[in-house]
Amino acid sequence: MTATRTRLSLPLRVLDLFSGAAGGWSLGLHRAGFITIAACEIVEWRRILYSENFPHVRLYADIRDLTAARLVSDLGCLPDIVVGSPPCQDISSANTKGKGIEGERSGLYLEAVRLVGECRPRWFAFENSSNLRTRGADRLLDALD
């Protein structure tokens, strides 16, 4: 028997970024057989509620302070999957003066891409407003490249 990880032997480990209070990504992936090992949410009250829903998940406050080295140090491993819902305030059509991916909040999308680059997961998924197409998709795709 080899030490390789297979879907049949162990559940894939998830890192949930910008998790919010409810942890929608974590809940959906849990129901699909995955295990969330860590989550990141900057708003304290959301972290408190998230931890009530997912008490065994390691929580981090600020994505800007989160690194692959820190995850390995704290958890002993890296995630197989990274998911998240980066802030959309600067991308949303409700913000007619939004700076897109260059904005203070939506610019955190690039921090998520940085973390994907460090962790090199099997796959990742981020969701956001469809306005991203005209408010920074090119820069985001360059960063992913």
pLDDT digits (tens, 9 = 90+) for 18-61: 999 999 999 999 999 999 999 999 999 999 999 999 999 999 99
pLDDT of residue 10: 79
pLDDT of residue 2: 46
pTM of the shown model: 0.83
Annotated catalytic sites, by residue? 88
Neighbours of 145 (CB within 10 A): 6
Q: CB within 8 A of 32, min separation 6: which ones?
A: none
pLDDT of residue 1: 44
Neighbours of 135 (CB within 10 A): 25
As a whole number of angstroms, the distance between CA 9 and CA 30 comes to 16
Higher pLDDT, 86 or 22: 22
pLDDT of residue 85: 86
Q: Which one is the CATH code of 13-144: 3.40.50.2030, 1.10.10.10, 3.40.50.150, 3.40.50.720?
A: 3.40.50.150
